[in-house]
Amino acid sequence: MSPLVVVESLVKEFPSSEGAARRAVDEVSFSVDEREIFGIVGESGSGKTTVARVLLHLTRPTSGRVTVAGIDPWNSTREERRRYHEVIQVVFQDPYSSMDPRMRVGAVVSEGLRSRRTHDRPVPTVTELLDLVGLPASYAGLYPHELSGGQRQRAAIARALAMGPQVLVADEPVSALDVSMRGQVLNLLTSLQVELGLTVIFISHDLGIVQQMCNRVAVMHLGRVVEMGNPVETFEHPTNSYTQQLVASVPRVPTS
């Protein structure tokens, strides 16, 4: 079976004040299989979010190629790009800033339903989507500011699922939440991944969460992937010096 997500020799450069381009992503390659949870870890500035933005068709790569379900969004027809945006969706770090505060939760979630054109699977209602993420139907009438951080993130997940994606990019999805809420949202993502057969690209700086959540992990440093493999093996026996430093400096969730 071919991988669902393929990143090949990806490079992204940005202009710098010194004149020379700054390379934020430097020859990054990896693939993600269907129904896999693939982690990308690294400190701020490592390039992990830039990789996600290229995958999400938000930032054009300088060179290299990304494909999801066989579609390269940067070299595709309008119809292929429309399909691409249904196949891959995102849950951002801050659910409040990613929602229009003037829209009720039901309207936020239904945006994806209105945009969805592929009906190879039954299209859920707003109530069904809210129930899927553990929110009462009555919350459809509330505004984002009336929800807690964890509830807003659940609503953001419901909005992403409205498109019927195969791939969900979770970009630091719990780092803005209280510690008491993080476990609940992580458990929700895990259960949804199993129930819906999702492929998840999980971006985080927290090695413990990645070790708990992911099947494989790529460690990024200064725009490059410096190590990749099973997260338990990678974090228990790191071979790269940067990974060793990262493991030594970041608290981890013990394995059971």
In a domain? residue 247: no
In a domain? residue 41: yes
In a domain? residue 255: no
How many domains is the chain built from?
A: 1
Q: What's the predicted TM-score (pTM) here?
A: 0.91
Q: What count of other Cβ atoms lies within 10 Å of the Cβ of residue 120? A: 5
Contacts of 195 (CB under 8 A, 6+ apart): none
CATH number at residue 151: 3.40.50.300
In a domain? residue 161: yes
Digits of tens for pLDDT over the chain (256 positions)? 689 999 999 999 998 877 788 999 999 999 999 999 999 999 999 999 999 999 999 999 999 999 999 999 999 999 999 999 999 999 998 877 888 899 999 999 998 787 766 556 667 899 999 999 999 999 999 999 999 999 999 999 999 999 999 999 999 999 888 888 899 999 999 999 999 999 999 999 999 999 999 999 999 999 999 999 999 999 999 999 999 999 998 654 555 4
In single-letter form, the type of residue at position 109 comes to: V
In a domain? residue 126: yes
Sheet-wide strand order for 22-32 = 22-32, 5-14, 63-68
How many Å separate Cα 224 from the centre of its chain? Answer: 18
Which domain range does residue 110 map to? 5-230
In a domain? residue 249: no
